[in-house]
Amino acid sequence: MTTAVSTVDASVNSRRWWLLGAIVAMATLYSMTILIVGVILPQIQGTLSVTPDQISWTITFNILATAVVTPLTGWLTGRFGWRPVMLSCLAGFTLSTLACGLAQSLEQLVVFRVLQGGLGAPLVPLAQAVVLSVFPRHQHGLATSIFGMGVVVGPIFGPVYGGYLSEIYNWRWAFFMIVPFALLALSMLWTLLPEGGKKSRINFAWTGFIGLAVALSCLQLILDRGQRLDWFDSAEIVTEAVIGVAGFAVYLIHSLVSRTPLLNLRLLAIRNYTLGLIIVTVYGMLNFTPMVILPTMLKNLGGYPESIIGILIAGRGSGAVVGFFVANWVNRMDPRVGISAGFLLQAWSGWHMMGFNMDVAMFDVLLASLTQGLAVGLIWVPLTVSTFARIDTGYMAETSAVYHLLRNVGSSIFISLSVTTIIRTSAKNHAHLSEFVSPFNEVLRSFDYATIYDLGNLADLARLNSELTDQAQMIGFLSAFGLYTLMCVAVVPLILLIQPAKKGAKDT
């Protein structure tokens, strides 16, 4: 009898790990699409003959759809269960990704990108909810570290492989490469994914959903268009801000007075969950920002080719893999140790980047990437485990959706803030540096500039202006790295407030 029970337990445990493998594959594929379009935008723009402002909608509307649908994950799961929602969303995501590669016009591509973002939005939060529900609590650290690799590593390697395929063939293959692997993940989940998560009776809070959808849509539009429209000097941005605040107020009031809110705000009474949401927002701010601004700096100022830039940024992936394995060991101790160590490593990498110049060596960039990847891995596991340690299994899908929503919102906010910092600081420093370009400047004379530039020659003035522009932009990037470093340090006091799990807690 004992032997039979042991055999059943071994079979159940083996099935869990196979299920985790399928979920990691799915999460990796979805995460790859987050940044992959940024690499192939110039090719798409040329093929479809559209302006830079028009082609940016392929990213904006995808992010909007993701932001709007993500909060629905809890309701969809409660209404239909894990299996129908995940399989349907993965199938829809796969078809919409294929359609993106087949699109013949900008309008078609935007529509398919909306479907790709909306149908794929529930996949990652629901996958995390399934992992935390299926595995016993004593295995949450290891399971979360393996799952986190897909979420974090996917956006790093996606642009590398997508850019490589687009160079060999064309931009369509960046989408096509996702499809066969997505079909494989779908077949595995069809076989392994159990039923679960469905509740006997659940109502949909339309009022709260519409309010939150309006607020998130306005926020994303402000972040995407703010810099081009000069922020609150634009009537459009002011209008979007007013509408967004009104929408969020509707959502907040409905959540406080309704018996069946879209997202249960009462869960914020759990200290670790609330702290986890704040910290994961900062985590999201820091996660993707270097991958967005570093390639631009290396290409425009450092003169690096795209292939080398891809390898240097991909170093984050190698560091993240090591970080996830280390985090599984660190997680056995106080979670505050791993989370604090991760953010301090991030701070060190930011301080290291603040020493970059236009002649930055590949080793220095690779060191920063590896460090950031290691830090990402160290933070994710203890942060996720401690955030959901006191959450009931029935609320996993809902709370996980909010967790990943804030991670994405934090990323959008900080990328926009960093780009604004670079642009405005560059303009300010260009004006400041230009003040010193004068034949009456004794300091400038001491460098014997006349042997290089003739201030009476228009061609030399243009070359000198180009040099000043590059130097001003470099200062702008350094300012953005300084902001990054500041955020890393600022979040550490919140980490100390996290309550460690009690030893000997019940394993469920």
Is the separation of the CB atoms in 276 and 386 below 8 Å?
yes
CB atoms within 10 A of CB 466: 10
Cα–Cα distance, 206 to 208 (Å, whole number): 6
Does residue 405 carry a pLDDT above 60? yes
DSSP assignment string, 363-431: HHHHHHHHHHHHHHHHHHHHHHHHHSTTS-GGGHHHHHHHHHHHHHHHHHHHHHHHHHHHHHHHHHHHH
Is the separation of the CB atoms in 483 and 418 below 8 Å?
yes
Torsion angle, alpha carbons of 383, 385, 388, 389, to 10 = -120
Q: Which long-range contacts (CB under 8 A, 24 or more apart) does 97-105 make?
A: 97/33, 97/175, 97/178, 97/179, 97/182, 98/175, 98/176, 98/179, 100/175, 101/172, 101/173, 101/174, 101/175, 101/176, 101/179, 102/172, 105/48
Over residues 407-457, the pLDDT tens digits come to 878 887 887 788 888 888 888 888 887 777 766 666 665 555 555 666 666
Cα–Cα distance, 369 to 318 (Å, whole number): 9
Over residues 198-209, the pLDDT tens digits come to 665 566 677 877
- Does the pTM exceed 0.85? no
Over residues 38-70, the pLDDT tens digits come to 667 777 877 787 766 666 677 777 777 887 788
Name 480's Cβ contacts closer than 8 Å, sequence gap at least 6. Answer: 289, 293, 418, 419, 421, 422, 425
Cα–Cα distance, 323 to 353 (Å, whole number): 20
Cα–Cα distance list, 185 to 142, 151, 180, 369, 489 (Å): 21, 15, 9, 29, 39
Over residues 335-346, the pLDDT tens digits come to 888 889 899 999
Which comes out higher in pLDDT, residue 77 or 187?
187
HSE value, Cβ hemisphere, 13 Å, CA-based, for 6: 3
Does residue 35 carry a pLDDT above 80? no
Q: Where are the alpha helices (DSSP H) in 70-105?
A: 73-80, 82-102
Does residue 506 carry a pLDDT above 50? no
Residue identified by tokens 């060596």 is: 361
Angle 306-330/271-300 helices, nearest 10 degrees?
160
- Burial class of residue 480 (count of CB atoms within 10 Å of its CB; 0-12, 13-18, 19+): buried
Which comes out higher in pLDDT, residue 388 or 328?
388
Residue identified by tokens 């055999």 is: 7
Phi, psi of 360 (to 5 degrees): -60, 135
